[in-house]
Amino acid sequence: MDLKHIKERLSQLKEDSKKNFGIMTPQHMVEHLTITMKISSNRIPYPDFTPSEKQLQQKKALLHTDLQFPQGVMAPGIGERLMPFKHSDLETAKEKLLSSIEEYENFFKENPSNHTNHPRFGLMTYQEWELFHPKHIEHHFGQFNI
């Protein structure tokens, strides 16, 4: 993941950016990506679980093919409701996302063999997160044409 490129694209996102799909506002989307980065670096630990066979097949298809995130997929545990904002404004949320990406990179530099739990796919390695995060970010950036 190229932090500079992500930062440039984030600079295009505004409070009133029009969405192509989904229920998230621009700030919800940025905060959602931040939470996912923090889960991957174990800053928000996700409980151990054994993914179902269907979840393992989805993981394989998403991580090891050109398959992109389909529109309308709901994050586990969220459903149709939006979480309250964690930050006072979109610009603060963007800064927190960028710092969470740096934290993620540092976590795996210091712990290269660690596995952390993905909420749908179970334990994932750094290499698997490196396949997941770009697709996830691209999916949500596409939500707002950035």
Of the candidates 37, 43, 33, the residue with the CA atom closest to the CA atom of residue 10: 33
Q: What's the confidence (pLDDT) of residue 76?
A: 64
What digits encode the pLDDT tens for the residues 65-88? 998 888 877 776 666 778 899 999
Mean pLDDT of the chain: 94
Q: How many CB atoms lie within 10 A of CB 69?
A: 16
User: pTM for this one?
Assistant: 0.93
Domains, in order of start, for the chain: 3-13+21-74+89-143 (1.20.120)
Token representation of residue 8: 């440039």
For residues 85-95, average pLDDT:
97
